[in-house]
Structure 1
Amino acid sequence: MKTGVNKGYDTERSQAWVRLLVSGAAMVYVLTVFLTARSTSGAIELILHYIPVFMAVSVVLLVDIIRRPGVRPLRRVMAMALDYVSIAVCMYLGGEALLPVYGAILWVTVGNGVRYGPRYLAIATAMALICLLALAQFSPYWRSQPYLAITLVIATLVVPAYVNTLLAQSRRANEAEHAANQAKSQFLAQASHDLRQPIHSIGLFTACLRDGNLEPAQRQMVDSIDKSLHSVAQLFRSILDMYTQDGGRVTPRAEAVALDELLQGIAQQNAEAARWAGVDIRVHAPHQRVLVDPGLLTTMVQNLLSNALKYAAGHPVLVGCRRRGGGFAIEVYDKGRGIEPQHLASVFDEFYRVREVRDNDIEGVGLGLAIIRRLANLMGLQVRMRSRVGRGTSVAIEGLVAVRAEVSSPVAALRQSSTTPRMLDGLRVSLIEDDRSVLLATATLLRKWGCEVQASPSIPVEGHGDIDLVITDFDLGREASGADCIRYLRELSGRHIPAVVITGHEVKRVREAVGDADIPVLSKPLHPAELRSTLVALKRGLAQGA
């Protein structure tokens, strides 16, 4: 790991610009000396002619760096040689008057070491010593000041040596930090997968219980379980969203998305949570398509809606769209208690929560709005908040660009499809999941929805040929992945069977591994309503293609 060399193109360019600035400053200093010390005017005049030549060569070097970016060791060494030769010439001609130019020797030496690493620091130190020894040998002034020469030589050795020690310590610290971050990433990735599984299976079992013939008291207990599980899932997703963004793993993928379908889908997925909060979610959106990453935009609106359900319980919430500045804006309005003006500047900070005296214990850790602002910056959008105490709060996501796409992406369309209670009757499903609890919960739920399920904990060895749909976990151990299962079953049946992948890993990585944009990739913990709407959409596609 080389300190300061991660982007040689940037460091070389910045070094070239600094070279021009320093040479300009040197020109100003020499002019000042020329005007105040006429006894050295002849030598100074030579230097005044030399500096413009040096600056011209520096400009040529900068142009070459711009045209041919990258790490080029020979070019770096030649630039260093240019610097030291020029400094030595000026100090030789200027004598005592240009002794302060020695500071440029330290700048070049330390600058190259910090920017390019220990190897270049050693080369620069050697060049600096050669320059000083040459001056001590050939300059009349330096020969008359031997102790000054010895002092500068010692300084030229000591300062880079100390800098090298600091660079080594910094490098070790960076390596330790990198190792710690890798360990943290591995832990969070594994913890993410291991925690998603039980949350996911509990949600499916709860949905199975809800569909049973329960007494009112039992249904209330199921509601309480489901509500608590929903809170845990929301918190879990917020922490993982922040972790994913911190790791630089989020890359927007814009596509044409219908605003009305996306917002209606989000409202539908939050219908149960809205019922618990006593909130009526109203959606008013045109059938307009915008160019945006549907997953990231869904996360933003989901977080806004979750905040409205928490802080405006018992009041209606409006999710709407309007034209704003040549584009479209999504706005979420609530009629909650509002936010005091002194809090508005801080609500988008991580872990910041608006708490009042005798507040109810509102769930969450204060990451929702921070995630929204990060995702907005990532996609070039703006987020604006207005609030009045006692009147409510509105938050707008602005900057959405309208497009005229004829159709939306298959995944977006699947996500937003509405459901009908018995639309899945007779759907033949091959279910593959290596976690026995999740396999049992999913199979039970699918059968309650009317599906005919063939369940397997791994890639099927036989059977599973006469099916309409594949639902598979992505990570099935060392033997195969969900993508392998889909390919196998398609080859076995001799037709392009629709499929759904459910995963506890990063959706982006799994989608790339699957390599098929028509296969929806759903993230655990998965809300049963989202799974059902996806299956209904796929079954409708089967009916239309028949």
Structure 2
Amino acid sequence: MPSVHVKPAAAGGAPASGALERSQAIVRMTTIYLGVGYMTYQLARGRIPPDNRTVIATLCVVIAIGSLLLLLAVLRWPQPNRARRILGTAHDYAAILVALIFGGEALLPIYALLLWTTIGNGYRYGARYHLVAVAVALLTLVAVGQLNDYVRGQPYLLSTLFLTAILVPAYGHVLVTRLYRARDEAMEASRAKSRFLAQASHDLRQPIHAISLYTACLRDTGLDAEQRRMVASIDRSLNSVSQLFRSLLDLSVLDSGRAVVKAEAIALDHLLNDIARQNAETAQWSGVTLKVVPTRSRILADAGLLGTVLQNIVSNALKYASGGPVLIGCRRQGHVMAIQVYDRGPGIAEQHLPQVFDEFYRIHAPGDRDIDGVGLGLSIVRRLTALMGLSVSIRSVVGKGTCVTVSGLPLIAAEPAGPAAPRMVSAPTVIGGYKVLLIEDDPLVLAATATLLESWGCAVRRETGMPGDGSEDCDLVLTDFDLGEKTTGSECIAEVRRRTGRQVPAIVMTGHDPEKVRQLTEQPDVVVLSKPVRPAELRSVIVAQRLTAHSTAEG
């Protein structure tokens, strides 16, 4: 089966300072050893002045050891270190100075390393280091002109060396400055794009969220068969738009560099079944059977980021499964676990496999049916797996199907069996009469959410900001995060819990990055849902909150 494998890569465009120093140490050792080889060859041929051969031989030993020690220091302590950087630069210029002074005519080609070192410092560390390096290079040439008998007798040669040491780095400095300016402009344009995507995604999520809630209310108003089909079509279209918004939000978070990996113990069975539940309605619309292979394995990973990875992979599989089954399973690979998603769709031709993880890449030939999406799902998967230190690969055979594998998930010991799950009761029994404090500053979303909750039998108290007196008489707080007037949903939850003296169950619905909202909420028991929220997902979470509270009360 043809396949392509994507290895983890460093997130972001520019290398870190520690990587620069490591790169510089490796280049230094390589060039120094080439220089040592050249000097040793000239010593062997007897071309070094006899009185200076001991000095050059000693120099070869000292700089070979010095460059190796600098590399080992960088590998041992990779953090940027200015003193070590200065020491390395001094090491380089001192070695070149000694070689040019005592090597006579035979070692003048070492001047090439002087230019290499001068330009390299500017390219790696910026304009300030570049100017200092040029100044040190000119001082080195002054010393060589005074102490090297051959150079002192060749004024035109010395002038040529001076001009080269000034003009070549200066031209390089101009080019590098323009390059940095172009890079900064490109990065600012990228940041502006990310800000636009995040803001546009947030602003459009609100009305889409309200439409989705009203559609759910409309479905329960005694429609005839034709009207139900139209409502179902609206629902499917809203689901496609919702997936697009989530992709745009994921992309803006990755571009901004705000994504942070926080590893925790995860029960794989719970995670995979949660993904299946989130996609059950989409699978039904697509005529696809979505199955999860049970597992008792536990892994160490970021639940939110890994969930986003699997959501994108499963969503992609459902789009192309063409009515065939989709299977989510795990495979142990030594001390790590791999998660695999199989589909029996039309498959992907081998020539397309290397590009499927590229942004906006879509496989579409004339006559193919239109597929929702813009080609961001798998590119987000690649970037998130790289961020988590995982790898992703894809295998596909035309006419038989496709398998996407996420590998490298560390296994941890299985958790001992806990108490039996609480006895399940019917959803109407759980939700009926449930007192919900609903906090939302958008009137349209507030009305839509309240209407939906009331259709489920909930008793709803509506608030547009910090709740007033009487709000403590509630079983659940359901709130937006940004409520205007410098008020957040987490502050409202904290206030209600302070008044009641108990941990009232709470749900936050937000159009922002849900992981960032979780961090700002600083209350791990609060559920965070990303707008637009599917009504079935909202109801499922409310039922789960109620059952958990019921089980705790009985315990």
The Cα of 1:223 is off from its aligned counterpart by: 0.7
For 1:361, the equivalent position in structure 2 comes to 370
More divergent stretch after superposition (331-340 vs 511-520)? 331-340
Taking structure 1 as reference, are residues 395 and 8 closer, same or farther at Cα in structure 2, changes over 3 Å only? Answer: closer
Distance in 2 between residues matched to 1:326 and 1:5, nearest whole Å: 32
1:522 aligns with 2:529: yes
Query: What is the aligned counterpart of 1:493 among 477, 488, 500?
Result: 500
Number of the residue aligned with 2:517: 510
Query: Shift of residue 111 of structure 1?
Result: 1.9
Larger CA deviation: 21-30 vs 202-211: 21-30
Contact 1:258 1:290 in 2 (8 A): yes
Contact 1:34 1:40 survives alignment (8 Å): no
Greater CA drift, 487-496 or 364-373? 364-373
Give the structure 2 partner of residue 298 of structure 1.
Answer: 307
Distance 2:482 2:42 in 1: 74
Aligned match of 2:9 = none
* One of 250, 255, 278 as aligned partner of 1:246: 255
Cα offsets for 1:480-512 (capped at 9, x unmatched): 111111111111222221111111111111111
Q: CA deviation at 1:402?
A: 5.1
2:327 counterpart of 1:318: yes
> In the alignment, does 2:454 pair up with 1:447?
yes
Offset at 1:146? Answer: 0.7
Please report how far the alpha carbon of residue 149 of structure 1 lies from its aligned counterpart in structure 2 after TM superposition. 0.8
Q: Is the 8 A contact 1:5 1:117 kept in 2?
A: no
Kept in 2: contact 1:30–1:44 (CA 8 A)? no
2:234 is aligned with 1:225: yes
Q: Tell me, what secondary structure is at the counterpart of 2:342?
A: strand
1:32 aligns with 2:52: no
Specify the alignment match of 2:120 in structure 1: 111
2:317 corresponds to which letter in structure 1? A
Matched residues in 1 for 2:394 and 2:80: separation? 46
Matched residue pairs, number?
537
* Equivalent pair of 2:304/2:515 in contact (CA under 8 Å): no
3-state SS in 1 of match to 2:262: coil
Cα-Cα RMSD = 2.9
How many Å apart are 1:433 and its aligned residue? 0.8
Q: Deviations over 1:181-238 (max 9, x none)?
A: 3322322221121011111111111111112211112111111110111111112222
Give the aligned residue type for 2:363: V
| 1:37-76 correspondence runs (5 A) | 37-38=46-47, 40-62=49-71, 71-76=80-85
Specify the code of the residue in structure 1 equivalent to 2:413. Answer: V
Matched residues in 1 for 2:446 and 2:193: separation?
Answer: 30
Counterparts of 1:194 and 1:147, CA distance in 2:
70
Instruction: Please state how far the C-alpha of 1:141 moved relative to its aligned partner.
Output: 1.3
Deviations 1:33-75 (A, max 9, x none): 2333557344344312222123334445555555666555455
**Contact 1:419/1:533 (<8 A) preserved:** no
Counterpart in the other structure of 1:544 = 551
The residue type equivalent to 1:482 in the other structure is G
Question: What's the counterpart of residue 274 of structure 1?
Answer: 283
Answer yes or no: is 1:479 the counterpart of 2:494.
no
**2:39 and 2:60 in contact (8 A); partners too:** no
> Is 1:338 equivalent to 2:338 in the alignment?
no
For the 8 Å contact 2:48–2:106, the answer to whether it is kept is no
Moved more, 501-510 or 132-141: 132-141
**Aligned counterparts of 1:431 and 1:106: Cα–Cα separation in 2:** 69
Letter in 2 for 1:440: A
Partner of 2:298: 289
Inter-partner Cα distance in structure 2 for 1:323 and 1:371 = 24
Following TM superposition, by how much is the alpha carbon of 1:123 offset from its aligned partner in structure 2, in angstroms?
A: 2.0
Q: Name the counterpart of 1:427.
A: 434
| Structure 1 partner of 2:415 | 405
Q: Which has the higher contact order (CA 8 A, sep 6+)?
A: 2
Unaligned runs of 5+ in 2: 1-12
Matched AA of 1:439: L
1:291 match: secondary structure: strand
Alpha carbons of structure 1 residues 77 and 306: separation in structure 2 relative to 1, 3 Å: closer
Partner of 2:108 in structure 1?
99
Alignment of 1:191-202 (within 5 A): 191-202=200-211
Q: State how far apart, in whole Å, the 2-side matches of 1:305 and 1:295 are.
A: 15
Report if aligned partners of 2:509, 2:530 keep a CA contact under 8 Å in 1: yes
Residues 394 and 513 of structure 1, relative CA distance in 2, 3 Å threshold: same
